[in-house]
């Protein structure tokens, strides 16, 4: 594999990770679905949930987002190991929000990922979420009623 292909693959995978974070934050569930392979898997072991296939992943993410009054996720670059048309990697995550049942949530976590090159570009073949730190102390702040005027 050429050096330019390696660079291009790394840039595309990093863009894929950013695209998924944006799709979740914007509640664009159709876009979430499109970023996985047809047989893709998303696992949330901390709540004993696994979603297999694009439709199930879409429904699972939509279900999960429906639990939140507000939710903020920041994903930070991690590692990528390329192996031809597949790759693996990790991303580092910080999330916080308030659940509709009143519970608060602040965590630091990892995504353990597997990626696959497809005709549409790189897609997630598997994404596994691992919480490393969790704080359920009530959040002192509140969501903004409206965004800032630009």
Pairing mode, strands 86-99 and 68-83: antiparallel
pTM, two decimal places: 0.92
Dump pLDDT digits (tens) for 33-42: 999 999 999 9
The fraction of the chain above a pLDDT of 90, given in percent, is 91
Please give the pLDDT value at position 31. 98
Beta carbons within 10 angstroms of residue 15's beta carbon: 12
Dump pLDDT digits (tens) for 90-135: 999 999 999 999 999 999 999 999 999 999 999 999 999 999 999 9
What domains, with CATH codes, occur in the chain?
A: 3-135 (3.10.450.50)
Please give the pLDDT value at position 105. 94
- Confidence grade of residue 143 (pLDDT, cut at 50, 70, 90): confident
Distance between CA atoms of residues 92 and 131, nearest Å: 10
- Phi first, then psi, for residue 38 (nearest 5°) are -55, -30
């Amino acid at each position: 594999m050429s050096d330019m292909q390696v660079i291009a693959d790394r840039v595309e995978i990093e863009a894929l990770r950013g695209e998924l974070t944006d799709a979740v934050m914007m509640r664009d569930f159709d876009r979430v679905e499109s970023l996985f392979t047809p047989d893709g898997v998303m696992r949330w072991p901390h709540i004993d949930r696994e979603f297999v296939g694009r439709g199930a992943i879409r429904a699972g993410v939509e279900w999960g987002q429906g639990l939140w009054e507000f939710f903020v996720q920041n994903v930070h670059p991690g590692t990528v190991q390329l192996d031809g048309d597949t790759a693996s990697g990790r991303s580092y995550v910080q999330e916080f929000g308030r659940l509709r049942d009143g519970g608060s949530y602040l965590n630091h976590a990892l995504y353990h990922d597997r990626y696959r090159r497809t005709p549409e570009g790189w897609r997630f073949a598997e994404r596994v979420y691992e919480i490393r730190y969790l704080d359920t102390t009530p959040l002192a702040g509140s969501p903004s009623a409206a965004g800032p005027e630009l």
